[in-house]
Amino acid sequence: MKRELAECLREDGYATVEDAVGADHAPFKRRGWFGWLR
């Protein structure tokens, strides 16, 4: 499982798990949280 997770991270260009936390929210983060929540 850890191996598979490491592969997923590498494929998406993340060096660490920490970098990937909340990555799905990146486009919204650029617009700002309140913009997305509306």
> Which stretches of the chain bind other proteins, using CB under 8 A?
1-9, 17-26, 28-29, 32-33, 36-37
**28: which residues sit within 8 A by CB, 6+ positions away?**
35, 36
- Least distance (Å) between residue 14 CB and other proteins: 9
- Least distance (Å) between residue 26 CB and other proteins: 8
- Least distance (Å) between residue 12 CB and other proteins: 8
